[in-house]
Amino acid sequence: MDNDRLIIFDTTLRDGEQAPGIALSTSDKLAIAHQLAKLKVDVIEAGFAASSDGDHKAVRAIAENVKGPVIASLARTHPDDIDRAADALSPAERKRIHVFISTSPIHMERMLRMTGDQVMTAVTESVTRARSYVDDVEFSPQDATRSDADFMIATCKAAVEAGATTINIPDTVGYAVPADFVELMRRVYSEVRGDRTDIIISTHCHNDLGLAVANSLSAIHAGARQIEGAINGIGERAGNTSTEEIIMAIKTREDFFGVEIGADATHLFDTSRLVSRLTGYPVQYNKAVVGRNAFAHESGIHQHGVLRDRETYEIMDAASVGQASSIILGKHSGRAAFADALERLDISLEDDDFSAAFARFKELADRKGEITEEGILAIVSEEPDADAGKAHLVAIHVAGGNHEIPSATVTIELGGVEREATARGDGMVNAAFVALRTAFDLDAELIDYRVSPVTSGADAMAAVDVIVQLDSNTFSGRGVSTDVVEGSARAFVAALNKAAAS
Ligand code: KIV
Ligand code: ZN
């Protein structure tokens, strides 16, 4: 690999998917992986094959079907993990096993209950085992930034000795700040890589202090030539480095960073929307690069400047990240127009899902008149409930007001059988949720509820995102409607369907 080339390693499907409430199916993961290949990231971390049969299946499906990027699977130092990762990756043209173990005192003592010597042995044995399957092995000393630097570096050296070719330094808990991170990375570069041009030094930063992107970029000056990130910055807690922010920082400030990337940024916006739609995680309006306001100008002075010359207030062109389109459909638009809009938005749906989304579009277009691109995206972001085994909302009636205790009656249909339930609550949304819980006969707890406007005006559509908890598992659901109570009920049904299936 050329020394001026920065490798973009995307972990949306592994670390990103670890964000609370996200549970992607294999087909969701395949869709995201295909999109990441279109975006031309260099490495896709497809999952953690040993963590569950579902993850193993998804890593294997991606290894079989997605061409272009290297496909990676995470593995602990356990022999079984390495074997599972190798098995899942076997169909891939280009594959990588990513081995990790913690090196910080708190993780070693409290979590692993291992001594330093035991950790060193585990590193050597696991990297050697991984190399017996693949040529491309990455090693990560977890919680590197809270580790004793000498010990952490010694584990990296042992990994290189055993055959690892990428050494990734994770700021697992988002503790680093750019100035000290760059110092640590300089040490790793000179002591672990030295003059071994075949060794790549990498970063993997979490965003607990909002510094993940800044820390990752600072490491480039210390010689890092791989950055790990996730689309929309999703991931554990406050998330990971945003892949899209790294790509655009490098492209926009190539003069400063002096490295090149292979990514095709024009697919960033579509990738961000796909990830948001399938994970149920909304993208904040002012999110850099992919937020819907990232290229919107509100003040008169700014608008005036941009009309004269876009570069007065813009350092990137919306089109360069794929943010430029204005699709509007009306209530008379038919299946062909709807299919054409989906194609322009790069969305492909199976027949049943297409029919369900089209029916929903017609229902909402009848109420609203016009549906914009954002409305279409919101409609397809609802989980279709047409699949066998899933309940769907047949009807909801609510009553309330400031002198009446709010109540809701819901009817759901499951496998041809209708179930009705009525409940009171401290608001109409709460009453609807209690009634749905009874209809599903599930004791799930609502732990997160968010309403986001999709379009503005009196007839605006809203997207409702909920997260429910059953036992210790969380499940997300999204509902879209011109009516917030109905949108909420649809979101609850989607989440309760997942909880019931678990
Ligand atoms: O944050 C972290 O330490 C990780 C490692 C497994 C690379 O995700
Ligand atoms: Zn991580």
Is 418 domain-assigned?
yes
Q: Which of 257, 288, 307 is the last residue of a domain?
A: 257
State the distance from the centre of ligand 2 to the C-alpha of 203, rounded, in angstroms. Answer: 10
Instruction: Provide the 8-state DSSP code for 240.
Output: B
Q: Looking at the structure, do residues 398 and 375 belong to the same domain, yes or no?
A: no
Is the C-beta atom of 142 inside 6 A of ligand 1?
yes
State the distance from the centre of ligand 1 to the C-alpha of 38, rounded, in angstroms. Answer: 25
Residue range 329-348, pLDDT digits in tens: 888 888 888 998 898 887 88
- What percent of the chain shows pLDDT beyond 90? 71
Residue length of the chain? 502
- Beta strands at 370-372 and 200-205: parallel, antiparallel or unpaired: unpaired
Is the C-beta atom of 240 inside 6 A of ligand 1?
no
434-449: average pLDDT: 94
CA distances from 377 to 24, 181, 366, 373, 414 (A): 18, 39, 17, 6, 27
Cα gap 444→397, rounded to integer Å: 22
Q: How confident is the model at residue 66 (pLDDT cuts 50, 70, 90)?
A: very high
Q: Looking at the structure, do residues 103 and 224 belong to the same domain, yes or no?
A: yes
Is the C-beta atom of 15 inside 6 A of ligand 1?
yes
| CA nearest ligand 1 atom 5, residue | 142
Q: Looking at the structure, do residues 490 and 429 belong to the same domain, yes or no?
A: yes
Say what angle helices 428-440 and 484-501 make with each other, to 10 degrees.
30
Q: Looking at the structure, do residues 248 and 397 belong to the same domain, yes or no?
A: no
Is 357 domain-assigned?
yes
What CATH code is carried by the domain that includes residue 75? 3.20.20.70
State the distance from the centre of ligand 2 to the C-alpha of 11, rounded, in angstroms. Answer: 9
Count the Cβ atoms, other than its own, within 10 Å of residue 454: 22
The ligand placed nearest to the CA atom of residue 169 is 1
What CATH code is carried by the domain that includes residue 480? 3.30.160.270
Q: Candidates 12, 48, 100: which one to mutate for ligand 1, based on the most atoms within 8 Å of Cβ?
A: 100
pTM: 0.77
CA 111-112-114 angle, 5° bins: 135
Which atom of ligand 1 is found nearest the CA of 206? 1
Is 48 domain-assigned?
yes
Is 98 domain-assigned?
yes
CA 253-179-272 angle, 5° bins: 45
Q: Which of 257, 282, 313 is the last residue of a domain?
A: 257
Is 300 domain-assigned?
yes
Q: Looking at the structure, do residues 94 and 202 belong to the same domain, yes or no?
A: yes
Cα gap 453→460, rounded to integer Å: 7
Look at residue 379 and give its three-state secondary structure.
Answer: helix
Q: Looking at the structure, do residues 188 and 253 belong to the same domain, yes or no?
A: yes
Cα gap 252→272, rounded to integer Å: 19
State the distance from the centre of ligand 2 to the C-alpha of 167, rounded, in angstroms. Answer: 14
Q: Looking at the structure, do residues 371 and 396 belong to the same domain, yes or no?
A: no
Return the pLDDT at 417.
92
Q: Looking at the structure, do residues 164 and 220 belong to the same domain, yes or no?
A: yes
What CATH code is carried by the domain that includes residue 327? 1.10.238
Q: Looking at the structure, do residues 79 and 202 belong to the same domain, yes or no?
A: yes
Is 87 domain-assigned?
yes
Q: Looking at the structure, do residues 161 and 309 belong to the same domain, yes or no?
A: no
Is 263 domain-assigned?
no
Is the C-beta atom of 204 inside 6 A of ligand 1?
yes
Q: Which of 196, 231, 257 is the last residue of a domain?
A: 257
Residue range 416-429, pLDDT digits in tens: 899 999 999 999 99
Return the pLDDT at 459.
60
Residue with tokens 């990994």: 159
Number of domains the chain contains: 3
Residue range 233-279, pLDDT digits in tens: 999 999 999 999 999 999 999 999 999 999 999 999 999 989 998 99
Which atom of ligand 1 is found nearest the CA of 14? 8
Is the C-beta atom of 140 inside 6 A of ligand 1?
yes
464-476: average pLDDT: 90
State the distance from the centre of ligand 1 to the C-alpha of 279, rounded, in angstroms. Answer: 20
The yes-or-no verdict on residue 325 having pLDDT over 60 is: no
Is 279 domain-assigned?
no
Q: What's the domain range around 451?
A: 392-501
Look at residue 480 and give its three-state secondary structure.
Answer: strand
Cα gap 432→410, rounded to integer Å: 7
- What percent of the chain shows pLDDT beyond 70? 95
